Every structure is written in C-alpha cells, then in structure tokens.
Structure 1
Amino acid sequence: MRAEEMWEVSTGEGVKVAVIDSGVNDSTDALQGQVLPGEDMTGAAGGVTDDYAGHGTNMAELIAGTGKNGSVRGLAPGAKIIPYRISAEDEDDRFGDVSYGEAVRAAADSDAKIISMSFGSPYHDPVGAEAVEYALSKGKLLFASVGNDAKGKNRPEYPASYPGVVGVGATDEQGEVTGFSQHGVNVDLSAPGSEMPGWCDEDFQKYCVRDGGTSAATAIASASAALIWAKNPDWTANQVLRVLVDTAGRKDGKDGASSVYIGYGAVRPRIHLLEGKGDPGDPGRNPIEATEPTLPPKASSSEGESDGKNDRNGAGGTDEDRKDQGETAAAASEDDGSLWIYLGAGAAAAIVVAGASVLVRRTIRRT
C-alpha cells in the first residue's frame, strides 16, 4: 500500500464515511475528533457512540484512526466517520421487523459519500433493498462484506448481493484470498482482512491481533475509496469505483474479468495516487454492473438494474483456482503489495480483519 507515501497525496480529508455497525466509540485515542453526529437505530440503552460490541469502533479506526498515543492509524486518517448504530440484541436466525435499511436510508440523506457495511444477512430484505436503491440514487458509494465461509456454505449475503453494492472479500498477509472469505457469491473487490489490530473486547483497554473476517476488508476498501475521492472531489461514485477496479491487483492477469474468489482484484489506491493510473470514465455508468447505468450522476433511476450479481461473478471453482485467482498485487508491481496499519508512532502491524461473526438483530451478522 505504501501508506505513508499515499498520505503525502491524500489522507481522505474532506470525505465522510458512514459506518453502519454496532456504534462507534468516539472517545478512543484513534477516534477523538474523527466522529461526527450520527444516529442510533436500536432503541437500546445509550446512543450511537455507545459500542457494546466493539466491532463498529474497530471498523471506524481501520478507516479513519489517527494513531494518536499509540492507537491504530487507519488507511484514510483524514476522513471523518458518521456512525449509525444497529442492534446486536436478537440472535434469532429469522428476519424480523428491524432492518438495516433504516440506517442505509439515513446515511443516504447525510453528507457521507461512502457507506461502509461490515455485516451481512442470508435473507433478502425488501426494506434494505429499497434503501440501497435510494442511496445509489443519491450518488453514494456502498461497500459491504461478502461474509465468512466458516462452514463452506458460500451463500449470498445481503446487502452485498444487491445491484450497485460493492461486495468485498478478504486477502491475507501474502496477498492471497483467505480460506474464510466467501467465493462465488458476488465478490467485486478484495482487501486485506487477516491478522488485523483491534480492541481486544468492548472494554477498550488494549489492542489485540484479531481473527480474520471480511469486515475489516470492507473497512479498508471504504478507506481506499476515501483516499481517491478526496483527491478527486468532483468525481461521482461510479468514477471512484471504476478507478478502484482499474487499479486493482490480480496476479492471474485477467484484466476486466471478475474472479469468483477475488472479484476484479485487491484494492491498490496507491496505483492512482502515486502513479496517476486509472481512468474514471463515464460518471453515470457503474463499472461492476453489466447492464445500463444504475447511478446517474444527478438523477435517480433504477432502470437497467440487474436482478442480482450471481450471474456476473459466477460460482464454484477448485482450491487451485482459489490460489491462482486469489494471489493479488504482489506479482503485478515491484513491491510486495502488502498493507500495513500503523499502531503507534511508526510501529507497524500487518492488517487483518477484526470481527467474529456476531449476529446483528435477526440474521444480520457482523463479518
């Protein structure tokens, strides 16, 4: 990633990222001054800055942590976070009357350019689907985790499976797709998601190296978009996404094709920021959809949207395919392509996803 060099060009300043999660603790060293007013959708005790799970705070720090007093420095430390708290109270594995769609719609009406969603549900949610379409019509760029394949199910997750949402898979320290990152289920891009620093628990007393998950990969993809958008503030969400796709790392060299394991490749914002590569193209055309534009630059339209993304990304594949398609930026450039999150003043920790699978109200799982 060569983060320190990228930060000389862009830190994400001026870009606001909506984090829909378990809330964001704005009093950690990393997030002091980084968190703007958000909204609590839970009705639970406390408010949007009361994070009883710690997951949302970890995601926010990976995006915009400042590194103050030995804390995590995120990939876009100049960005700001707008938190939206959704509930983690009900673990019933059926969809109920509480939808993340309410948070998506609120984020769509906010000043956030990017909506980061490190959670997923195997069930289609009509309210969530309508909220996603609304957010797209408002020119937002949406990222969501594709899920952790702990039991080999590889089933579609929502909202990652909705047209226009960027489904994010996870890579490991060697730049290969992780064993837990779901494949064949709407993976559009990938990002580091293994061995990440994060809070050990909800008490926020010390950092640990966390187990892997696609949650952190989603946060890193969101931060990568913030870096590019800050440098090009007049671009649309489509143009930012197209540059992420154009500059993504794929060792198999299949440019323009989507892998069932890694999507269009692993995000590498440095290719644009430091080398000037990546064509933003048509501001009204979504680069990950095979149909007509889903994100007109100034008007709302759902015409031409596909019914889903399974047909685009395919399914299946062997373990050897996983290795061939999963290896990322390393062979495509002169450096090793690895990403580092900075812990403290100059002490680096390899990036990894923070987040065990915690159910968020009625089948919504943090990944």
Structure 2
Amino acid sequence: MRQLIRVATAAMVGLILVAPMAAPAAAFPAPNQEEWWFDTFGIESDVWPLTRGDGVTVALIDTGVNASLPELAEVVLPGTDVVGGVGDGRTDTDTHLGHGTAMAALIAAQGGGSAGWLGIAPGVKILPIRNGGHMTSEIEATAIRYAADHGAKVINISQGDAAGLSDPNHCPAEVQDAVIDAVQRDAVILASAGNSGDQHNDPEYPAACPGVVAVGAYDHLGNAWQSTQRQDYVAISAPGAGVGSIGGDGWLYHYGAGTSQAAALASGAVALMRSRFPNESARRIVQRVIATVTDLGPPGKDDQTGYGSISLRKALTATVPADAPNPVFDRLDQVLAARRVQSTPSATPVASAEKTSSKVLRDLLIVGAIFIVVCAVYPLARIRPRPPADRPPTSPGPDDRSPQHGPPPPSGPTRDQGPPPERRW
C-alpha cells in the first residue's frame, strides 16, 4: 500500500511539474470557425507545437494598422508613414475597410475581441509601413528599404500596380534596386499576384520583380480563384477566396476574396519557417517553400497557382537538398549577372582605345618634328644673295613661280576646272 501511495504521489508530482510546460499551447483561443485555412495548414495540430513565429518581424507595407484593437494589442511595433511623413503607421487610414489591419490580423491576430480572430503566426511582431494605398515606384522603393533597414525578416506587400511596358521584367528600376537591397539584407519579400486574371490580366509589380515571391489565390477546395492573375511570375499560392478578416473598425468582414489575403497568409507561413529555422537565409527559406509545395491545378507549374500551395506541414519538417530548384532567386541572379556584365568594361574597347591613343601621340610627335624643321629651314630659304652692284636684277623666267613673283593665282575655279569636289565624311 505504501508503495502504491508513493507511486501515486510521484505521478501527481510529475503531473504538477509537467502541467506548466503545457500551458503555452493553450495560451491562444480557438480560431474563428470561418478560418478554414487553420485545418488546411494544420496550424493547431502540426505547426504550433513547432513554432508560432516568435522572434520574427513581419513588415506590412499597406494602409497602416489599427494597433488599438484587442486582437492586435502589443503586436504592432512603431513603424512609419512613407507618404505623409507623419505618424508611425499604427493608424489605418483606409476608411473603406481597413486593408492594412485586415492583413495584419490574418498574420498575427491574438484572438479575443468581438470577432475572436486569430492569426496563423501570433508570435510575430508587425512593423507597419503606411503608404496609404499609393503605388508609385518611388514610394514602394522607400517602403521596402525602410523594412530592410529595420530588421524585417519577412516583407508583406498585399498590393500591386500595373508596370510600364518598358520596364524590364515589369519592374521599375528603383523598385528592383530596393528588392535587391532587401534580399541582400536577408529579407523574404512576398507580394500579391493581382486580382484581374479574368479581366485585363496586366502584369503587376512588385509581384513581377525578380526576387519577390508572387502569391496567387485558391479557395477551400483547392481550386484557383477565378480572378487570380495568370502570369508566369506567379511562384506559389495560398488561401485567398472565402477569406475574411477584421477591418480597421474591429468588425469582422466575412468571406472576402483576393490575392491580398493569399499574400498575407503566405507571409505568416514564411514567418513561421523563419522562426523554426533561424539560421537559414532568405534564399534558403524560399528554396524550402518551393521544394515543399502541394501541386494544384494542372500538373506542374501553372500561371495561376505557380508551383503549388504553400505546405507548412512539409516545410517545417522536410529535409530540403541544397541543390533544390529555386526559380525565384534564379530570376534575381540573372538580373544581378546582367548588371555585372554592364558594369564591367570590355577588354577589346580598352585595347583599341590604348592603340588609338598611341597612334595619335606618334602622329603628334612626327608633326611636331616637321614643324620644328620647317621653322628652322624656312627663314634660311628666304635669304637670297644680292646681285652685284654693277648688274641690274634679272627678270623672272617663265618657270619661276615663287610667291613673290609671277601673276596671282586665279581667285576661283575656271571654266575648264569645273566645280570644287564634293566633301564626304
């Protein structure tokens, strides 16, 4: 009996010691029943036991974030306003819906509030960068650089605009420069692919920019959303049809649709990976994402869902070979290689220039020598002996054509000479 009591007591002590260790798993409430992607990604069962995104900052380039909502309390860092230059981004200026707040809630909402909304990566911090919904290339480049300068490991851009036809890769030069800078600072950039796939389907930046992970949208059945962009730059896809969120006013907006939501959820997924693998570079994380997708639509890559749906179950546990394909960074490497070629002077023009310079110098020396000789000889040639005093000077003969004697040369072409020859360059 005493032995049983000792065993029971030890078991109770063990339970008491273990119970506090399990508490963090129950820290967050259950997601709203509309958040069907929690099951798709296996968030509660497979993902959160491994990571909730702690230690990762996600920059949100959007309309600002209402940081006073209970679902986002203590999650939103002071950011910036790259349009007005006033404010820290923690106010959503989108009066229609509160686009930035909605994207932040999909990533990092804490539950609670009237909607009980929960993000897939509640351990991350949101860095709001307000651009007011304005998509000029200068503003976008400034926002991306600010995100990189302030340590964001993930940059979410749930926006897009049609790029000029003359822009290489449909990406303005200043935005491409900012993307390169951010990637070199170890940030993963994700952007919405666009919402006009069933209309004009124009290529959009920054999704089209090499080095950016462009995200298409699908519904709860795994079908591509009808309006998701159909472009070859689409790399992956994520839930984007039938996806609501809380707006800037704190109200729940039901069952929205767009590649904005898909990019936000993909950004949250990448933040979870960066937390799980803190020593992996941005290049390696993107390689991991693409190597572990679940194929959707036609077999292989397609222009709506890219290489497939992001799969957190596989991405967080799989061993990805070092030589696995990485088409997003392959495009970026091509841009960087082209720039190196343009900035490196060719050996042939340099040699040619040196040869030409040497020839010119030689010719100048020869001309200079001739000039010196002429200057020395010419005065001597002009000295003529005086005739004897008792003899008159002789008249010039018919063959004497020195400049001082004889008739002046004709002032223009004669009839027999014809017009002067045409000059050709």
Alignment TM-score, normalising by the size of structure 2: 0.63
Aligned to 2:258: 213
Aligned to 2:123: 78
Q: Does 1:27 align with 2:68?
A: yes
Q: Does 1:4 align with 2:38?
A: no
Q: Does 1:225 align with 2:270?
A: yes
Name the amino acid aligned to 1:303: A
Name the amino acid aligned to 1:245: I
CA distance 1:63–1:121, change in 2 (3 Å): same
Contact 2:243–2:257, Cα closer than 8 Å, also in 1: yes
CA distance 1:230–1:305, change in 2 (3 Å): farther
Q: Secondary structure at the match of 1:136?
A: helix
Q: Does 1:165 align with 2:203?
A: no
Aligned residue runs from structure 1 range 128-167, under 5 A: 128-149=175-196, 152-167=199-214
Contact 1:21–1:119, Cα closer than 8 Å, also in 2: yes
Aligned to 2:337: 303
CA-CA distance at 1:197 after TM superposition: 2.3
CA-CA distance at 1:292 after TM superposition: 7.7
What are the Cα deviations for residues 19-74 of structure 1, in whole angstroms up to 9, with x where unaligned?
A: 00001111111110111121111217754111021101111111111113343211
Aligned to 2:108: 64
Separation in 2, partners of 1:216, 1:178: 12
Name the amino acid aligned to 1:84: I
Q: Secondary structure at the match of 1:170?
A: strand
CA-CA distance at 1:278 after TM superposition: 4.3
CA-CA distance at 1:134 after TM superposition: 1.1
Separation in 1, partners of 2:76, 2:89: 10
State the 4+ residue runs in structure 1 displaced beyond 6 angstroms: none
Q: Please say which of residues 232-241 and 144-153 is displaced more in the overlay.
A: 144-153
Name the amino acid aligned to 1:25: N
Q: CA RMSD in A?
A: 2.5
Aligned to 1:270: 313
Q: Secondary structure at the match of 2:91?
A: coil
CA-CA distance at 1:198 after TM superposition: 1.8
Contact 1:31–1:64, Cα closer than 8 Å, also in 2: yes
CA-CA distance at 1:185 after TM superposition: 4.3
Separation in 2, partners of 1:209, 1:106: 32
Extract unaligned runs of 5+ from structure 1: 295-300, 307-367
Separation in 1, partners of 2:308, 2:137: 36
Name the amino acid aligned to 1:19: L
What are the Cα deviations for residues 219-251 of structure 1, in whole angstroms up to 9, with x where unaligned?
A: 011111111111110000111111111111114
The number of residues matched between the two structures is 288
Aligned to 2:143: 103
Q: Secondary structure at the match of 1:143?
A: strand
CA-CA distance at 1:291 after TM superposition: 5.5
Q: Secondary structure at the match of 2:337?
A: coil
Separation in 2, partners of 1:47, 1:39: 4
Separation in 1, partners of 2:110, 2:146: 26
Contact 2:67–2:76, Cα closer than 8 Å, also in 1: yes
Separation in 1, partners of 2:329, 2:301: 11
Separation in 2, partners of 1:292, 1:147: 20
Name the amino acid aligned to 1:68: G
Contact 2:176–2:210, Cα closer than 8 Å, also in 1: no
CA distance 1:185–1:43, change in 2 (3 Å): same
CA distance 1:114–1:205, change in 2 (3 Å): closer
Q: Does 1:36 align with 2:80?
A: no
Separation in 2, partners of 1:102, 1:277: 36
Aligned to 1:339: none
CA distance 1:222–1:305, change in 2 (3 Å): farther
Extract unaligned runs of 5+ from structure 2: 1-40, 164-170, 341-425
Q: Secondary structure at the match of 1:104?
A: helix
Contact 2:244–2:256, Cα closer than 8 Å, also in 1: no
Separation in 2, partners of 1:46, 1:102: 16
Separation in 2, partners of 1:121, 1:50: 23
Structure number having the greater strand percentage: 1
Contact 2:104–2:126, Cα closer than 8 Å, also in 1: yes
Alignment TM-score, normalising by the size of structure 1: 0.72
Aligned residue runs from structure 1 range 187-336, under 5 A: 187-199=234-246, 202=248, 204-251=249-296, 254=299, 257-273=300-316, 276-279=317-320, 281=322, 286-290=326-330, 293=333, 302-303=336-337
Name the amino acid aligned to 2:76: V
Name the amino acid aligned to 1:112: A
Contact 1:65–1:72, Cα closer than 8 Å, also in 2: yes
CA distance 1:34–1:126, change in 2 (3 Å): same
Structure number having the greater helix percentage: 2
